[in-house]
């Protein structure tokens, strides 16, 4: 699906509410995740065996084809903002590197990041632990992005994180009257991101482009992501 045409996205019954009113509650999904996690662990142990290497490569390729959906950014494109979706520090560092590359290519000069409460690693220079936001801003500055061009975006936490980010960033796009946006996440997460943002930006005349970082993950993580994608698509967005 071409993300530059938000009219092709699915229509929710109530755009302000990402949850399907007929969908099961989060405890239902938690039970499913626990069961599937046990299955994934068992499968992963077998896939680590030498005899499964060829089969494993074929499975990884097949799953990645379903999970990865990145957009070609047209030449000379300028966008109003780049939003980097949340994640672990390792994942964020790779996403920030991708954002910095686009920034230095002149595509955009505003980098939006998820405002993440809490603290992280200790800073000898400051004599205390960095906050998550301080760490993120410091990392982006190391990639050559000035502090004034970095904006943390606060939002309420949600059980379904990607859906929560899509809802709040879509509201922000409306508020600031953005016409275009780049979304950066891990490659295996791109399809789910695109599905969520299409849901909220449908009919808003906003072009958005989904880009993936250089992150690589194990087969077990790909399988879990595939399960999440199906849950989002068939239970949460309809």
pLDDT at 101: 98
- Domain residue spans of the chain: 6-12+67-236
Q: Are 128 and 144 in contact (CB under 8 A)?
A: no
**What was the pLDDT predicted at 5?**
47
Task: State the chain's maximal CA–CA distance in angstroms.
Answer: 55
Specify the pLDDT at position 23. 55
Q: Tell me, what's the pLDDT at 47?
A: 65
At residue 51, the pLDDT reads 59
Residue 5 to residue 104: CA distance in whole angstroms: 26
Q: What is the pLDDT of residue 56?
A: 80
Helical pair 53-67 and 219-231, crossing angle rounded to 10 deg: 40
| CATH topology classification for 6-12+67-236 | Rossmann fold (3.40.50)
- pLDDT at site 146: 98
pTM of the model: 0.80
- Residue showing tokens 């002149």: 106
Question: What contacts 46, CB < 8 A, 6 or more positions away?
Answer: 52
Q: Residue-wise pLDDT tens for the chain (238 aa)?
A: 444 444 444 444 444 444 454 555 667 777 777 777 777 777 776 666 665 677 788 899 999 999 999 999 999 999 999 999 999 999 999 999 999 999 999 999 999 999 999 999 999 999 999 999 999 999 999 999 999 999 999 999 888 999 999 999 999 999 999 999 999 999 999 999 999 999 999 989 999 999 999 999 998 899 999 999 999 999 999 6
Q: In the prediction, which pLDDT does 129 show?
A: 97
The answer to whether the beta carbons of residues 94 and 217 sit under 8 Å apart is no
Residue 50 gets which letter from DSSP? G
Q: Are 130 and 118 in contact (CB under 8 A)?
A: no
């Amino acid at each position: 699906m071409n993300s530059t045409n938000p009219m092709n996205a699915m229509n929710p019954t109530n755009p302000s509410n990402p949850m399907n009113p007929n969908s099961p509650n989060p405890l239902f999904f938690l039970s499913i995740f626990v069961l599937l996690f046990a299955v994934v662990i068992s499968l992963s142990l077998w896939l680590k065996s030498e005899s499964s290497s060829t089969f494993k490569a074929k499975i990884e390729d097949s799953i990645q084809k379903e999970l990865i959906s990145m957009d070609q950014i047209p030449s000379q494109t300028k966008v109003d903002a780049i939003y980097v979706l949340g994640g672990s520090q390792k994942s964020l560092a790779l996403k920030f590197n991708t954002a910095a590359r686009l920034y230095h290519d002149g595509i955009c000069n505003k980098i939006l990041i998820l405002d993440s409460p809490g603290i992280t690693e200790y800073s000898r220079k400051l004599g205390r632990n960095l906050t998550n936001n301080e760490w993120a801003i410091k990392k982006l500055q190391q990639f050559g992005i000035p502090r004034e061009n970095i904006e943390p975006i606060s939002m309420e936490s949600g059980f379904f994180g990607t859906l929560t980010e899509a809802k709040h960033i879509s509201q922000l796009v409306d508020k600031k009257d953005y016409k275009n946006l780049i979304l950066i996440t891990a490659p295996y997460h791109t399809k789910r991101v695109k599905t969520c943002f299409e849901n909220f930006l449908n009919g808003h005349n906003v072009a958005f482009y989904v880009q993936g970082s250089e992150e690589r993950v194990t087969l077990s993580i790909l399988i879990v992501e595939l399960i999440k994608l199906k849950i989002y698509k068939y239970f949460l967005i309809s």
